[in-house]
Amino acid sequence: MGPKRSGASSASSAPLPPLSIDPTAVLSDAISFSGTYPITIGANSVLHPRCKLNSAEGPIVIGSNCIISERTQLIAPDIDGLVLGSYVHVEVNCHIQAARIGDATSIEVGTKLGKGSCIGDNCTLSPQSIILDVDVLPAFTVVYGENQRRMDTSATAVARNETMLAHIDCLKKLLLNKSEKYMR
């Protein structure tokens, strides 16, 4: 875990890891970057304030059209790093040490993804679900209730991606874009 507790002081103290931020991405104030491996943030992605990205063990790649919410920690598990696909929605207060998160996957509030776990495309993890270390979720898995699993056959993936785009559009209007602050 990152050595710093307060995300607000990230810009002032330790040096930032090498960042490559797409110009269309929106990064709020007070995001905590730590570690030494590079962090890549794709086009049109939104990072809320006080989310924490720790690349001490490996690189972090965030795809396009992703939303990373407040107080969420993205921690690269190993040298292979943490790779998020596109249209990934990570909700508030998640603790993510996964290796891969597939496209259009929605990770709800307070979810814990164990070290090196692999989440497939179009998965949905309901609030407070826990994925164990090195666990692999196939595509279209829904984790609900008391960590029960079922297959999503609702064919709503396209609709959800559209909702994501609308969500990002809205966030872009609401959030202050401070990505230049991290570009230095």
Partner 1 sequence: MSSFPYIHISCPCHEDRPQTLTLDSARPITPLKSPSKHDFNFPLTDPHTPTKRRTLLGGFTPSVSFDSGNINLDLDEEEEELTDEDDDNNNFDPRDPRSAFSLFPIENLLYCEDCHQIRCPRCVQDEIVCWYCPSCLFEVPSSTVKSDGNRCTRNCYLCPVCTALLAVIPVNHSSGHSGTHSDHPTGPFNLFCSHCHWTTSDLTPPIQLEKPTSISAQLSKLTHSSQDSEFIRLKQHYAQQLGNAQEDFTNSPAALTRLMGLYTGLGSGSGGHGGSRKGRGVKKLEMKEVDRPREVGEEQELEIIERMAVEGLESTTTSKQRLAQPHEPRFLSDLTPTAVLLRTKRSKRCRACRHILVKPESKVQTTRFRIRLVALNSIPSLTIKRLDSTINWNNLIPHKTHRFLLTVTNPLFDPISVSLLTPRRTPGTAFASRVTILCPEFEVGASTDVWDDALMSTKPAASSTSGVATPPVAGSFTSFSKDPKMSTVYEQKRNYTSVVIEVVPPEIPDTRETRIRDERLLEIPIYVRVEFEAEVDRDDEEGGGGKPSHSGASGGAVQRERVEYSYWYVIGVGRVGDPVEGVVASEPNTPVRTPVGTPVKAPRTPAAMRTPLRQVRS
Q: Residues interacting with partner 1, by CB under 8 A? A: 124, 126, 142, 144-145, 148, 150, 152-156, 158-159, 162-163, 165-166
Whole-angstrom Cα distance, residue 84 to residue 41? 10
Which has the closest alpha carbon to 137: 153, 118, 111? 118
Whole-angstrom Cα distance, residue 52 to residue 32? 5
Strands 82-84, 60-62: parallel, antiparallel or unpaired by DSSP? parallel
- Could you tell me the smallest distance in angstroms from the CB atom of residue 7 to partner 1? 30
- Could you tell me the smallest distance in angstroms from the CB atom of residue 16 to partner 1? 35
Which is closer to partner 1, CB of 6 or CB of 154?
A: 154
Contact 144, 127 (CB under 8 A): no
Which is closer to partner 1, CB of 140 or CB of 182?
A: 140
- Could you tell me the smallest distance in angstroms from the CB atom of residue 68 to partner 1? 21
Which is closer to partner 1, CB of 71 or CB of 149?
A: 149
Whole-angstrom Cα distance, residue 121 to residue 21? 23
Which is closer to partner 1, CB of 57 or CB of 108?
A: 108
Whole-angstrom Cα distance, residue 172 to residue 116? 31
Burial class (CB in 10 A: 0-12, 13-18, 19+), 54: buried
Which is closer to partner 1, CB of 30 or CB of 164?
A: 164
- Could you tell me the smallest distance in angstroms from the CB atom of residue 140 to partner 1? 9
- Could you tell me the smallest distance in angstroms from the CB atom of residue 154 to partner 1? 4
